[in-house]
Amino acid sequence: MTHTAYSITPVKPAAHLFRVTCRVDSPDPGGQQFRLPNWIPGSYMIRDFSRHIVTIDARDERGDVALHKIDKSRWRAEPAQGELVVEYEVYAWDLSVRASHLDTTHGYFNGTSVFLLPGGRESSPCELTIVTPTDPACEDWRVATSMRAIAVDANGFGDYRADNYEDLVDHPVEMGTFERHVFTACGVEHQLVLSGRYSTDAARICADLGKICEHHIRFFGEPAPFDRYVFLVTVVGNGYGGLEHRFSTSLLVSRDSLPVKGESGIGDEYLEFLGLCSHEYFHAWNVKRIRPLRLARATLDREAHTSLLWAFEGITSYYDDLALVRCGLITPKRYLKLLSKIITRVAQAPGRKVQTIADSSFDAWTKFYKQDENAPNSIVSYYAKGTLVALALDLRMRESTGGEKCLDDLMRILWHRHGVGCGIDEPDIEATACEIAGTDLESFFELAVRGVDELPLASLLPQVGVGLKWRRSAAEVHGDSSDNAIGTTPLSQGMRLKFDAGLAQITHVTNASAAQRAGLSAGDTLLAIDSLRASEKSLPGILRRHCVGDTVAVSAFRRDELMAFEMVLSAAQNDTAELLIDDENHSLLAYWLSDEIA
């Protein structure tokens, strides 16, 4: 059987270079092709990882073999004799969960950034040797990854094995002087690997993660579909991101999101961290194993379009926080506050009126992942609105079955039917939901997934004893957004502002807002309102002294041209949601929020 053997060496950490070899035992006699993926599963954007290949050569047992570039990410070697070896250097300086990064403090890579795929070898087993670096800066380095180790030294350098190329690139690798903590959930060993500069209570994180992991495993049913799982966490001053894999997740988080030693209670930032971990772990089922066919068939060279990201990201986003209340980490009240924020976020973005979440899913590559200044007007988030659609579907299923069935049942049936091997086609989720609910949900999905009208949350929530109230908000992005902070003239007036070196930059202007009617635009630098300098500190005070309907003079720079505008101040919208428990004794409230698996 053919196989592909790779090696990777953090060869010049100060220059951010990995050296990689790819050995093909019996290359295509007509000339072996190689290609590097242009995107990484889970992150729907063309990233052209091949641009970071700095040098590349090929050789066989006779010597050098010519390599011809076919396109941006493909090569063809001249016919070779015996084993063909391609050797190349990859520049790694992207500190995100999607690519690779190497310096004298650590190395990190995703296989999609560094491992060439020989043509026709998609299904061949892969061997990987992670070579111990010789640079003195890397002296104490160890390796952390969920990839199956075959023969490694005490630090984890050595030989690993993957079933095929897809498996090879699904195990990100961290190397450095990280801390590793081990905990068990439902009998499965989990690792928490923390790298970067931080000080935290790792034992507490493990205890909290353990509860979340047990929740998710029991939610879908024991045994867990993996025999090991690794949380690879990179801690930085300011960062946020996660990417799901079948046996691990890569997370990039802010130092302040980790719990302080000796402190109890869950602050908002730590809550966000736990929510992110919960999200990526839920993906180990929903999207990594219950897979949309269109993504499962993707060849990673060009975009793969599916209308189902709302389900894979939205349902996952719904359960990430719901699991926290179900496993007792937060109270129902705190959970409802998190949910209220999502309802508010969706309500405040006019893009929900022009784009459906099915379309947002399909066009993720060019819209959601390439957001510009017009994004709030033109795009709906399949994460945020997807969460609300999942909630609405959950409630709708409870309603039509008298509380007997819910979204949990849908997820478990999808898991049993599609968890191993058989991917999910575009109509499958809706059809299965109708089957479980015992009713035709076509009109629900038309509205929620393929429509832009408001979701019927206000009428659905009371059946679990929860009421939805709307209140007026200032709809601003910085500072206080409480009810009466600035009277009835919201600070934003439809402008989102970024304060940079004392200057107020308009980053977004929402459609049909006072700012847009006045002629202001994203990119303008706001100089003065009402003849007073516009600053982060002054703006609320200036606006508080005006009433709805007042006209104020605004001056701003557009590029380097000074412009004058007249803005008629508008009232704050009723777009801030508040969820309150109306009926504590409602029979379905505990069923919804408790961890009793029906």
Q: Which chain residues interact with Zn ion by CB under 5 A?
A: 313
Copy the structure tokens of residue 344.
């508010």
* CB-CB contact of 293 with 414 (8 Å): no
Q: State the minimum distance, in angstroms, from the CB of residue 382 to Zn ion.
A: 10
Of the candidates 65, 4, 73, 88, which has an alpha carbon nearest to the alpha carbon of residue 34?
A: 73
Decide whether 358 or 364 has the Cβ nearer to Zn ion. 364
Minimum CB separation from Zn ion for residue 317, in Å? 7
CB of 145 to Zn ion, least distance (A): 21
Calpha distance 554→544 (Å, rounded): 16
Measured from the CB of residue 173, what is the shortest distance to Zn ion in angstroms?
A: 21
Alpha helices in 75-151 (DSSP H): 111-114
Residue nearest to Zn ion (CB): 313
Q: CB nearer to Zn ion: give 22 or 253.
A: 253
Task: Name the residue nearer to Zn ion (CB basis): 313 or 359.
Answer: 313
CB of 196 to Zn ion, least distance (A): 22
What distance lies between CA 424 and its chain's CA centroid?
A: 20
Name which of 141 and 415 has its Cβ closer to Zn ion: 415
Min CB(117)–Zn ion separation in Å: 25
**3-state DSSP percent of the chain in helix, strand and coil, to 5:** 30, 30, 40
Residue that has been written with the tokens 């930032």 in this structure = 269
User: What one-letter code names the amino acid at 22?
Assistant: C
Q: How far is the CB of 227 from Zn ion (least distance, A)?
A: 23
How large is the C-alpha radius of gyration of the chain? Answer: 26
- The answer to whether the CB of 229 falls within 8 A of the CB of 191 is yes
- Find the shortest distance in angstroms from Cβ 389 to Zn ion: 15
Q: Which residues contact 454 (CB under 8 A, 6 or more apart)?
A: none
Instruction: Specify the residue, 313 or 524, whose C-beta has the smaller distance to Zn ion.
Output: 313
b/e burial code for range 38-52 (CB count within 10 A of at least 16 → b): bbbbbbbbbbebbeb
Contacts of 321 (CB under 8 A, 6+ apart): 275, 278, 335, 338, 339
- Closer residue to Zn ion, CB minimum distance, 348 or 381: 381
- The distance of closest approach from Cβ of residue 316 to Zn ion in the complex, given in angstroms and rounded to an integer, is 5
Strand-pair partners of 454: none
- Our CB check for Zn ion shows the closer of 67 and 287 to be 287
Q: Residue 407: which H helix or E strand, with range? A: helix 407-418
Choose between 441 and 449: whose C-beta lies nearer to Zn ion: 449
Residues 6+ apart with CB under 8 A from 174: 106, 107, 108, 143, 144, 145, 193, 195, 232, 234
Q: How far is the CB of 388 from Zn ion (least distance, A)?
A: 16
Measured from the CB atom, the residue of 311 and 358 that comes closer to Zn ion is: 311
| Closer of 313 and 363 to Zn ion (Cβ) | 313
Closest of 249, 187, 245, 242 to residue 214, by C-alpha? 187
